[in-house]
Amino acid sequence: MNYAEIQYILLKFDSYRETKFGTIRISAFDPDNIIFRRDFKMIKEKLDEIRAAARKRIEGSLDLEKLNAARVDFLGKKGELTAVLKGMKDVAAEDRPKVGQMVNELREEIERSLEETKKRLESAAMEAAMAKETIDVTLPAKRRPMGHRHPNQIALEEMERIFIGLGYEVVEGPEVEKDYYNFEALNIPADHPAKDEQDTFYINGEMLLRTQTSGAQVHEMEKGRLPIRMISPGRVYRSDEVDATHSPVFHQVEGLLIDEQVTFSDLKGTLTQFAKELFGADTRVKFRPHHFPFTEPSAEMDVSCFKCGGKGCRFCKGEGWIEILGCGMVHPHVLEMSKIDPLKYKGFAFGVGLERIALLKYEIDDMRLMYENDVRFLSQF
């Protein structure tokens, strides 16, 4: 008998058994079935099956969550490959190293494939996120509508700039004022007819909403710091009906200069300079005698119409001149009441209606527009 014949006879004594890996042959040389001789080919087939299934699952995993589930199903504690390893005890001792090597190779292969797919999915996710979050830097930015200075404020800052340039400081006086500062100390005693001209909002017998900024002169003089060079802008109140040129609330800018040896020429020079800076270097000025109780002599200053240059037009109502302020030399009695020696000190004062300047400068024909807060109007300045 040759070897093949012996093998053939022996094979006849072998029996077969069904296991979870398929049918396995039990060697006739192992009658106690201590070693379940696993068919090597069968394990190989099983591993190929797992390989194909794993490849399909991994390739079909469209996100990281599904990929992780595949990892658990194939490599996890209860995974398919682990089941094969657990079955190693059923493998013939001489086949174990080989089977072990095959299982390890497959494990490495699956791990590699999982890792590659993971990287691919991550970079795809990153690219998708970047594509979604792309910023078009060439798009114009969203702008919040921004407000800007009111024409009144623009005119005020222009006036402040001019007077600060002449060495004046800007001070503020109270809007709720004592009768004394608004009238009395400005040479307008209780029975003075000038008081009737200013329809006043009284709070009580003594307090009122100031009708003019001139009271700021008195506050400044009372401080006792001389010389004085100040302007004082602010809100004033008069019981007036609203129309194109009147409002119960409006603004004035007061001016006061006190020093030794101040003359009417200083007043004229200062206010001429002011008018030229505000309305243009060609502007001419004219002083007309007037009366204010707190100045003596007093005047009103007109500027040549900057629209027609003085020839007369609709803007200046054919006059060629436009009145812009009241002024005068501070009355000695006013100085005295504020404890300033009128023999040593002289001064001049002036008062400008702020709205009037803004209306002229921006050629606005109705004062009501200034208070309506209509952005179509305001955005023009």
Nearer to ligand DAH, 54 or 325 (CB): 325
> Interface with ligand DAH includes 350 (CB under 6 A)?
yes
Nearer to ligand DAH, 107 or 210 (CB): 210
DSSP 8-state class, residue 238: -
Report the C-alpha gap between 170 and 253 in whole angstroms: 10
Q: Say if residues 326 and 350 touch (Cβ distance below 8 Å).
A: yes
Total number of residues that touch ligand DAH (CB under 6 A): 11
What's the min distance (Å) between Cβ of 225 and ligand DAH? 19
Nearer to ligand DAH, 151 or 353 (CB): 353
What's the min distance (Å) between Cβ of 329 and ligand DAH? 9
Task: Give the three-state DSSP class for 290.
Answer: strand
Kindly state the tokens that stand for 222: 């009372």
**Minimal CA–CA distance to 103: which of 38, 34, 58?**
38
Which residues neighbour 222 within 8 Å (Cβ) at sequence distance 6 or greater?
A: 338, 339
Nearer to ligand DAH, 102 or 349 (CB): 349
> Interface with ligand DAH includes 349 (CB under 6 A)?
yes
Site string for ligand DAH, 284-323 (x = CB under 6 A): --------x--x----------------------------
What's the min distance (Å) between Cβ of 324 and ligand DAH? 11
* 156-215 binders of ligand DAH (CB under 6 A): 212, 214
Q: Long-range contacts of range 356-360, CB-CB < 8 Å, 24 or more positions apart?
A: 356/324, 357/155, 357/159, 357/278, 357/324, 358/151, 358/152, 358/154, 358/155, 360/279, 360/306, 360/322, 360/324
Q: Which of 221, 334, 351, 354 binds ligand DAH (CB under 6 A)?
A: 351
> Interface with ligand DAH includes 254 (CB under 6 A)?
yes
Please state the separation of Cα 129 from the chain's center in Å.
29
Nearer to ligand DAH, 106 or 271 (CB): 271
> Interface with ligand DAH includes 274 (CB under 6 A)?
no
> Interface with ligand DAH includes 327 (CB under 6 A)?
yes
Task: Give the three-state DSSP class for 28.
Answer: coil
Nearer to ligand DAH, 113 or 295 (CB): 295
Q: Say if residues 85 and 106 touch (Cβ distance below 8 Å).
A: no
Site string for ligand DAH, 14-53 (x = CB under 6 A): ----------------------------------------
Angle at 319 (CA atoms; ends 315, 320), nearest 5 degrees:
75
Nearer to ligand DAH, 113 or 214 (CB): 214
Q: How many other CB atoms sit within 10 Å of the CB of residue 271?
A: 22
- Residue ranges in contact with ligand DAH by CB under 6 A: 212, 214, 254, 292, 295, 326-328, 349-351
